Amino acid sequence: MKNEKLKKIGTYLLENINAVSEMYAALLLEYQPRWYGAINSEERKRIAGVGASMIFECFTRGDLVPLENYFKSCASIKLDRGVGIRDVVEGTMLGKQACIIAGQNFYTDQAEYFEYLEELEIFYRKVLSLTTDRYSGMLLSRLNAEHVRNKLLLEASRTVTSALDPDEVLSRLAEVLAGTVGEGCCTIFLVDSETGGLAPCAGFGYGSQECQSALQGLRLCPSGNSLSGVDGKSYGFCSSNKASRSFADILPAAVRSGSASLFHITNSGRMVGVALVSSDQPGFTFDDATTELIGGILNTVAVAIESAAAARQTKRQLMESESLRRVANVLLESPEGKNGSVLGLIADEARTIVNGMGSALMLLEGDSLHCVCYSGSPKCPMDFYPVEDSFYGNVFRKGETIIVRDAQCEIPEAERSDEVRTLIIVPLLEGCKKLGLLMVSNKSGGFDRADKRIMEMFAAQAVLALRNSRMFEQSEKLVVQGERQRLARELHDSVTQALYAITFCSDAAVRSLESGKDKAAIEQLKALQGMAQQGMRDMRSLIFDLHPPEMESEGLVGAIQARLNSVEIRSGLEADLFVEGDERRLPLRVEEELFRIAIEALNNSTKHSKANSVTVQVDFAEGETILQIIDDGQGFDPEALPTGGMGLRGIRERSERINADLKINSESGKGTVLTVKVVEEIGGGDE
């Protein structure tokens, strides 16, 4: 710009800045009392002097660089105070007026003064253009930033109110917070109601699996001083896996450098959690605007975060209760314990409820621990571990739950899989007696106290299963012993007696033949033939009763039909089987007990009731199965019959074992109807 006159007066005015500052300050007070009326005269003069000096430097330099620097250093202060573009333009024009007055005193020649005014006019056109462009740009940037802030606040509010699942609420919130900074990452820690510590519950933006695992294994403590949040609160931290230990140096350094910050989450004075927000951009640091934005978001949704935290805790407790209920139901339905599916279910449920990858059950056998059950992977590399000389044996002897944070370092190589990283081991204790160990491995982020609590509950279920298993084995032995005694009685009462009668009759026939009594011998041989056939029928019935092959392949109906074909029909008895409803398989032990009840009733019909016909009916109704055995025999008076008469005690005991409803209707001379009704459990089927 051509500024000979401006350069000349600029040098002079810089040397006499005080006088110009006083004049400029008086104009500002007169025309802008809103902004300068409350300021004392010295401060007002100082502000006027800064503005005047900037203008005079532009005069002497011949450019607008000093004004550019002003916008970088001072303009944002005016924006923060709420000064608008109109006020800025007016203040600029007041500065022009001060320059006009100063020019009147400096230029005595009229022509030079008019040349000065022309240069001053051109200069201030450029100043006004620059001022309005830059100031409006800064104002627009502020408005855009406020719009983004309000948008993020609205998005965060919608996020936590629209999602129903608490984990989804927290994950979305972590994504919103990460979006406030470039290449952002965020982890939300919530207060653990049991320990008071803070555990990670949601995260976003972490690329590597190692980084995710490290953050999931990080635990914050509100009583420590390793990390300082933006609000001045301090936190300590510990790790639950090997990867998170690397944060001992990285995280505090990142917080000190400003690339990561901790934001306290409170609701009505209650501590809810902490948000860790960081950026992967090189050289990034949090400015006041970003810090204020994140704080505003957290304050807006603090109530929803606390609700999500409570819902998350309730959800976990419900999952734990449901898992324990499933195990308890199987224990009730399947008393055979380790011979059935109970231990497998416990291992699988324990792995699922604590989000582990693999689980195993070890039981004491002699001087070793035997891995008897697995779920998921990795599996134990050995089947047996000595109690006296192994890592697991040492845990077993101490009888206390332990959490292994780095299995590759803490467990001997021969006793661990190369794939196991973290591990929780819970002893199985029955009072003071140690039975074995329950283990879950490879939870992302490692195991904590909450996992210890629920795992010990599962261990108690495993102990109950083992106890039931022992009781079942003992009862099985008693049942076998009772069955042997029953077969011995049957053999004595039927087959042995038949053989004795055959021997006696054959001797009589021999004597008749020797004495020439052919007719008597023929009658005796016919009787002998009948006795042998009856003995064969009794033996066939006993052999079939031991274990009908059709039971496993065809079920209850097939086994009953095979029995009728093999025994009753061959004996000349009119026997029929009718099935109502859609035939289905029942639990094996239920089918076996119903079959034994049917056999006992059929034996009564043929041996005691002297029936000519018998009908077996199986009704597969909805939710229940009804078995009926109907004969046309001589009947009996149930009240007059001894308690154990005709095998009724065995029928009653078998009915009680499967919780069946038993009814026996009979009258002398009118036959007998035996009815057994079994109500089926939901989800019942083959075991």
CATH of the domain at 291: 3.30.450.40
Residue 290 forms part of a structural domain: yes
pLDDT value at residue 19? 86
> What CATH number corresponds to the domain at position 594?
3.30.565.10
Contacts of 513 (CB under 8 A, 6+ apart): 521
**Do 279 and 347 reside in the same domain of the chain?**
no
Domain's final residue, options 144, 177, 193? 144
Distance between CA 64 and CA 92 in Å, rounded? 14
Query: Both 420 and 522 in a single domain?
Result: yes
The rounded distance, in Å, linking the Cα atoms of 69 and 76 is: 12
Return d(Cα 550, Cα 344) in angstroms, integer: 29
Based on the fold, state whether residues 582 and 670 are members of the same structural domain.
yes
Residue 104 sits in the same domain as residue 175: no
Nearest to 302 by CA among 328, 270, 330, 349: 270
The domain boundary residue, chosen from 522, 546, 570: 546
What region, left, alpha or beta, does residue 355 occupy, with left being phi > 0 and alpha being psi -120 to 50 degrees? left
| Residues 542 and 554 reside in one and the same domain | no
Contact 177, 168 (CB under 8 A): no
Residue 648: CB atoms within 10 A of its CB come to: 20
Residue 53 in contact with residue 37, Cβ under 8 Å? no
DSSP codes joined into one string, 560-596: HHHHIIIIITTTT-EEEEEEEE------HHHHHHHHH
The answer on 348 and 292 residing in a single domain is: no
Is 320 contained in some domain? no
Extended beta strands in 423-566, E state: 423-430, 433-441
- Any idea what the CATH number is for the domain that residue 79 is in? 1.10.490
The pTM is what? Answer: 0.47
- Structure confidence at residue 686 (pLDDT): 46
Contact between 521 and 512 under an 8 Å Cβ cutoff? The reply is yes
Q: What is the pLDDT of residues 365-424, one digit of tens each?
A: 888 998 888 888 888 888 899 998 889 999 999 989 998 888 888 888 888 888 888 899
Q: What's the one-letter identity of residue 70? A: Y
pLDDT at position 80: 64
Integer angstrom CA distances of residue 15 from 69, 96, 386:
21, 18, 96
Query: Which of these three, 519, 546, 573, is where a domain ends?
Result: 546
Is 627 within the bounds of a domain? yes
Do 437 and 533 fall into the same domain? yes
665 to each of 517, 578, 598, 631, 645, how far by Cα in Å? 50, 20, 15, 11, 15
pLDDT per position as a tens digit, 486-506: 665 655 555 666 665 677 577
Residue 418, domain member (yes or no): yes
Question: Within this chain, do residues 482 and 568 fall inside the same structural domain, yes or no?
Answer: no
DSSP 276-342: EEEE-STT----HHHHHHHHHHHHHTHHHHHHHHHHHHHHHHHHHHHHHHHHHHHHHH-TTGGGTTH
Query: What is the pLDDT at residue 615?
Result: 93
Residue 229 three-state SS: coil
A 10 A CB-CB count for 460 gives 18
In a domain, 27, yes or no: yes
Give the number of other Cβ atoms within 10 Å of residue 42's Cβ.
Answer: 9
Number of domains observed in the structure of the chain = 4
What pLDDT is attached to residue 498? 63
Spans in the chain with pLDDT lower than 50: 1, 337-340, 683-687
Residues 388 and 484 in one domain: yes
**Considering only CA atoms, which of 237, 202, 234, 204 is closest in space to residue 219?**
237
pLDDT for the residue numbered 628:
94
- 398 and 530 fall within a common domain: yes
In a domain? residue 610: yes
Decide if 263 contacts 229 (C-beta within 8 A).
yes
Give SS3 for 350. Answer: helix
The 3-state DSSP class for residue 220 equals: strand
- Look up the domain containing 497 and give its range: 336-546
| Cα–Cα distance for residue pair 276/262, rounded to 1 Å | 5
444, 539: one domain:
yes
Residues 471 and 438 both lie in one domain: yes
